[in-house]
Amino acid sequence: MNHKTMYMKMFKANYRKSLLLFICNAFLISVCLFFSTLTFNNGYNNTQAIQFVLEQNTQFPTGFVFLFAVFFIPYSHISYNTQKEKEYGVLETIGIDNSSIKYAVVLDNALIALSTLAAGLLLGTGYSVLFNKTFIKHIYPESTAGSLSIKGYEVTALIIGAIYFVTILCIEVYISGRTVKKLLTDERKAKEGHSPSKLLIIIGSALIIGNIFYIIFFYNINDNNALILCYFLIALGMLLILYNSLYFIDVLREKKPKLYYADILHLSDLRYRFSNNKKIFILTICLIGLVVYFQVFSFAVARSTQSYTTANNPFHVMYAEFSDENYPSTEELNELARNTDAEIVKTAEMPVYFDRSSNIVVSSDTLNKALGKDLDIRHGECIIYSQYSLDDGYRHEDKFGSTYSIMTDKLNLKYHIKSVKYKVLINKDMTPRYCIILNNKDYNDLISKAEEHYSMQYRIINCASLKQSERLYKTITAKYDMDANGIISSSKYINMALGEHMSALIILILSIMDLMIFMLNLMMIHFKLLANMDSDKKKYGIIHKLGFTEGEIKSTVQKNINTLMIWPVIIAVIFGGTLIIGVMRFAKETWYTTVCVIIVGAAIIIFQYILSCLYTKYYTRKLME
């Protein structure tokens, strides 16, 4: 048997491990390709809504999955090679030189890397095509978005290729530095770890409770630094508790020895192998915390988008009429409404002046008449309506002096600001910033002196229902070719539909990302458990010989797996949940977000528990083989 045959036999013997590595990494690469395709695909540019949503929501997930790949690919390959170290040691003892072994290791890993990259790109193409042909086509039937983006492939192949190159290089260097003795020795030793400190646990708990309390009840959205500091302190508190959690086991052993000894295998495992598992514990908290955050964020954003759209569109239909254009009169509008089965319940005209700052200026008389207000403004004064609510969840830093100036080529008129009101007065499409309300005389004076083309009339229409308003809006814009003439117009129905589509797309993209993070986390835990399989097999073999029944072993395995799969998830739900509740508090969605956190958190914990039970079955079966 020559070297080649021997390596082939070894490869065959490790086929299952190689296959697992292949499947996990191919999946990860496909996720990377999917997100980079979303980020770099120019085909989405033809649909403004998709482009907007993707621009806003895919950069982070894309960056995140690539960052995850930077950690996971080397981790999985190192775990894979660690399991084979003993074989390499045996080969060296029988006289195969180190360079031959290095060659075999590099070849083994490179072959897996290449096949994984190819399979991942193929699988990712499948996801992208499926995504475009189903979800995007369903939500945006008018979209012509393509599925393939050469740049997406280039970026994915380049980054993943670089990760593989560095990983294999490191493994090669690592194998070179290992002596035969080290390769053959099982270096896994039980570590008792440092002495836990009660004081640090108290400090950690105080940091967590205090900061969560602050975020939920006192946090100001405008204070980003405070939020970052809070989460840094919460993370610090968690680390302090985690790193000193052995204290609880010590206390249990001292105060309740019966309880401790009743669960000695699990607790001793926690105690002695905690240092072995704490990295994966913390990583799981971070990953699942992100899942909770983004999943709840997508639901909360969907809801706030709906209320935001409703608040920003007080009227069903609005459009601008210029004095030199031919627009339908009220009678003609009623006729159009009858033809489109729509019932107009309110219509009003409101002459406005557009100033150089893109704000609209309106007279108090027309405004009172059109919108049913009762504003009283004296000569030389104005009231400013900001087109937003102060507590709409966004940061507003507008500052007003004591006067407002309207400047033209010929004029520089100043008005004393009587008051500033933060309320959407007319549809936001019609005036993006402020409405300046003047005394009737001042307004007429302005119009008489100002350039004519800055003056226009806003038409306001409300129908009996939103659906009717859509039909009427489409008929008017088509009949008077408003899009082609560049006339600004606004339809509440269309804005709400657009908001719903955008929300659906955000929920979809973030759900896909969350699902993938969830699966990647499971893969990571699987690799961790797989790396421990041999020592666990030995350990459970011993305790079975001692008289532990299969049921007792299964129960211990379940507890050990729960330690990795359930507890970090519970902490992650609390951590991610409080973060998103804090963030959404100023969008007036605290309760809705809290309910979402409870539902999403419970769903994740239950799902993880089911997975943990299934995994325990699988793991116990493997242990008993």
- Interface residue list for other proteins (CB under 8 A): 189-190, 192, 257-258, 261-262, 264-265, 268-269, 271-273, 535, 539, 541-552
Nearest CB to other proteins, comparing residues 327 and 540? 540
State the minimum distance, in angstroms, from the CB of residue 264 to other proteins: 6
Measured from the CB atom, the residue of 186 and 341 that comes closer to other proteins is 186
Name the token pair of 528.
């961790």
With respect to other proteins, which residue has the nearer C-beta, 410 or 545? 545
- Residue 543 DSSP label: H
Q: How far is the CB of 624 from other proteins (least distance, A)?
A: 11
Strand partners, 352: 456
Q: Min. distance of Cβ 249 from other proteins in angstroms?
A: 12
In contact, 318 and 489? CB cutoff 8 Å: yes
Instruction: Give the chain's length.
Output: 625
CB nearer to other proteins: give 137 or 539.
539
Q: Beta strand pairing status for 489-491 and 403-407?
A: unpaired
Q: Which residue, 501 or 539, is less far from other proteins as judged by CB? A: 539
| Smallest separation (angstroms) from other proteins to the CB of 528 | 16
CA–CA distance, 30 with 121 (Å, rounded to integer): 6
Strands 317-321 and 489-491: antiparallel
Query: Which one, 225 or 549, has the nearer CB to other proteins?
Result: 549
What is the smallest separation between the CB atom of 605 and other proteins, expressed in angstroms? 27
Q: Which is nearer to other proteins, 195 or 549 (CB)?
A: 549
Minimum distance between the CB of residue 258 and other proteins, rounded to whole angstroms?
A: 6
Q: Name the DSSP class of 461.
A: E
Distance CA 508, CA 61 (A): 13
Q: Judge contact between 315 and 427, C-beta under 8 A.
A: yes
Residue 221 backbone class (left: φ over 0; alpha: ψ -120 to 50; beta: rest): alpha
**CA quadruple 316, 321, 325, 329: dihedral, nearest 10:** 60
Considering the complex, what minimum distance in angstroms separates the CB of residue 619 from other proteins? 17
277 C-beta neighbours (distance < 10 Å), count: 20
φ, ψ of residue 468 in degrees (nearest 5): -65, -40
Q: CA–CA distance from 79 to each of 18, 74, 616 (Å)?
A: 11, 8, 21
Q: For residue 1, count other CB atoms closer than 10 A to its CB.
A: 7
Distance in Å, CB of 262 to other proteins, minimum = 7
Spatial separation of the C-alpha atoms in residues 122 and 134, rounded to whole Å = 18
Tokens 């005389």 appear where?
Answer: 441
Pick between residue 17 and residue 622 the one whose CB is nearest to other proteins.
Answer: 622
CB of 195 to other proteins, least distance (A): 14
| 3 state DSSP class of 584 | helix
Contact assessment for residue 582 and residue 295, using Cβ atoms and an 8 Å cutoff: no
Closest CB to other proteins among residues 412, 549: 549
